Amino acid sequence: MISTSFTDEELAKKSIENIDFFAELFTRYEKKLFFYIRRISYFSEEEAEEILQDSFIKAWKNLKGFDKDLSFSTWIYRIVHNTTISEWKKTQSKNRDSYVKIEESEYVNIPSNINIIKELEIKCTKQEVQKLLYQLSPQYKEVLILKFIEEKSYEEISDILQKPSGTIATLISRAKKQFKQISEKQNISF
């Protein structure tokens, strides 16, 4: 059994020589990344599981290239993000009637220090939040999910999306405005 006292970065380093350490990383991130895929892509559970497996295979194959300047969390999120977007683009031509999936346990954990989200938590149902997120531009939906549901820092989002921190701050600001505009059109007042 692998000691859970190792950091992610230590496990990544040890994984190069022993796959059991990589299995521990998979266990640590499997659930979070599965829900992240579902939120940003509208894929079914089966499709999300497949993307998750493909992402971890890519991570395993590229483990020697793990950027030591990044946290493992940021690195694996970037791989999952890129794999998900790549798969989404392949299926984009299909007309999919889907929505953003937020689990009930995550909905109640939305940070309360954000006025828009806090107000929605009080006034909206889970389905209304999902509907509003679905209507956002993909780039805006993505940054809101990373910031407020995945609870990533601006720097981590910058690394995951491979965009400058200033751009991330601008995207989050614009996303909040778009979110508010859409909610007002739907008669959800703040």
Inter-residue contact 59 to 41 (CB < 8 Å): no
Cβ neighbours for 30, distance < 8 A, ≥ 6 positions apart: 52
The pLDDT value recorded for residue 153 is 93
Whether 76 is covered by a domain: the verdict is yes
CATH of the domain at 161: 1.10.10.10
Domain boundary among 62, 91, 120: 91
Domain containing residue 87: 8-91
Measured CA to CA, the distance from residue 165 to residue 155 in angstroms comes to: 6
The pLDDT value recorded for residue 112 is 46
Walk along the chain (190 residues) and give the pLDDT tens digit of each residue.
566 789 999 999 999 999 999 999 999 999 999 999 998 887 899 999 999 999 999 999 999 988 777 899 999 999 999 999 999 888 875 545 455 555 555 545 555 455 565 555 555 566 677 778 888 888 899 999 899 888 999 999 999 999 999 999 999 999 999 998 988 888 765 4
Whether 63 is covered by a domain: the verdict is yes
The pLDDT value recorded for residue 183 is 86
Say which residue the tokens 């798969």 belong to: 87
Whether 36 is covered by a domain: the verdict is yes
For residue 124, the surrounding DSSP H or E stretch is none
Whether 190 is covered by a domain: the verdict is no
Whether 99 is covered by a domain: the verdict is no
Q: Are residues 87 and 111 in the same domain?
A: no
The pLDDT value recorded for residue 148 is 85
Number of structural domains found in the chain: 2
CATH of the domain at 51: 1.10.1740.10
The pLDDT value recorded for residue 68 is 78
